[in-house]
Amino acid sequence: MTDHALNQLCQEVFSDIFPEKQVKIEASFYPSRSLKHSVKFQNGKVKIRIAETLRSAPEIIIKTLCTILFLKLFRFKIDRRLYQHYREYLEKNAHLLQPVKKRPPSPRYSSVGIYFNLEKIFERLNHAFFENRLQKPVLGWSLKKSYRRLGFYSGEKNLLVISRIFDSKKVPESVVEYLMYHEMLHIDLPAVKVNHRRRIHGAEFKIRERLYPHYDEVQKWLKKNLKRL
Ligand SMILES: [Zn+2]
C-alpha cells in the first residue's frame, strides 16, 4: 500500500466513524520494525503513523488498526472484539509482515474509464475555457472509490485525479466535466496565502467556478445522487 492509498483509506475510515467531523488526515508509514503506531491531533489535523511493517498487510488489518487508533484519539470506548480481530488478522498474516525495504512503485493511474475518458474531457475543457493554456498533468480515475474526495489536483505530483465513483452510466457527462473543470481551475489558479493560511478556493476561484455553464444543475445533481453512486 502506498502512503497515498493509506491516506485515502484513513480518510474513509475516519469519515465512516465521525461523519460530522471535518478533519484533515495526514497518514504515513514510518520505518520501524516494531508494530508501534501513533496518532495525534495537531494544528487541526489528525496525524497518523503506521509502522512500515504493515505496508504489505491486507487492507482489512490496516482498516481495523486505524479504527482503533481514531477511537482511542477521541477517547471512545473500544470494543474488545476490535482488538481481537486486529490480533487475529496479524497472526494469520504474519508471513506478510516482513519489514519492507523498498517502497513499491507508485500505482499507475488510468485516465480511460469504462464510460468516460478523462484525456478527452481535459482537452475539450482546456480548449473551451482555458484557451489551451493548461499543461496536461497525469490524469487518472482514483484507485479506490471515494465519496468524500471527489477529485484532487497535486501540482507536486503533476497529478489530477477524479473519484472513480463517477465513471458510471448513471452519471451525466456534465458532472464529470464539472469535476474536471474544478480541478483544472486549481492548475490555473494557484493557492493564495491569506493570514498565513493557504486559501485554495479563493474569491476568484469561486467566481470562475460558477462560469461553468451547468454549475447549478450539477450541484443539484450531486446533492441528490452522490450517495447513490
Ligand atoms: Zn478544489
pLDDT in tens, 111-152: 999 999 999 999 999 999 999 999 999 999 999 999 999 999
60 and 148 in a single domain? The answer is: no
User: 182 alpha carbon to ligand 1 midpoint, in Å?
Assistant: 6
177 and 211 in a single domain? The answer is: yes
User: 203 alpha carbon to ligand 1 midpoint, in Å?
Assistant: 12
Range of the domain at 20: 3-96
User: 183 alpha carbon to ligand 1 midpoint, in Å?
Assistant: 6
User: 191 alpha carbon to ligand 1 midpoint, in Å?
Assistant: 10
pTM of the model: 0.55
| Residue 219 domain-assigned (yes or no) | yes
- Contact status, residue 11 vs residue 148, Cβ threshold 8 Å: yes
Check which CATH number belongs to the domain holding 212 and give it. Answer: 3.30.2010.10
In degrees, to the nearest 5, what angle opens at C-alpha 194 toward C-alphas 193 and 197? 70
User: 152 alpha carbon to ligand 1 midpoint, in Å?
Assistant: 7
Stretch (H or E) spanning 162: strand 159-162
- Percentage of the chain beyond pLDDT 90 is 59
The domain boundary, picked from 96, 131, 155, lies at: 96
| Residue 110 domain-assigned (yes or no) | no
| Residue 107 domain-assigned (yes or no) | no
User: 202 alpha carbon to ligand 1 midpoint, in Å?
Assistant: 10
Question: At which residue does the C-alpha cell 450517495 appear?
Answer: 227
* Spatial separation of the C-alpha atoms in residues 169 and 95, rounded to whole Å: 41
Contacts of 155 (CB under 8 A, 6+ apart): 186, 187, 190
125 and 61 in a single domain? The answer is: no
**Is the pLDDT assigned to residue 101 strictly greater than 60?**
no
User: 180 alpha carbon to ligand 1 midpoint, in Å?
Assistant: 10
User: 168 alpha carbon to ligand 1 midpoint, in Å?
Assistant: 22
Structural domains in the chain (count): 2
| Residue 142 domain-assigned (yes or no) | yes
146 and 186 in a single domain? The answer is: yes
Contacts 24+ apart (CB under 8 A), 12-19: 12/144, 12/146, 12/148, 13/63, 13/66, 13/67, 13/70, 14/46, 14/66, 14/70, 15/148, 17/67, 17/70, 17/71, 18/70, 18/74
User: 205 alpha carbon to ligand 1 midpoint, in Å?
Assistant: 9
Contacts of 152 (CB under 8 A, 6+ apart): 160, 161, 183
| Residue 138 domain-assigned (yes or no) | yes
134 and 192 in a single domain? The answer is: yes
Residue 126 C-alpha cell reads as 482546456
Question: Which pLDDT score, from 0 to 100, does residue 42 have?
Answer: 87
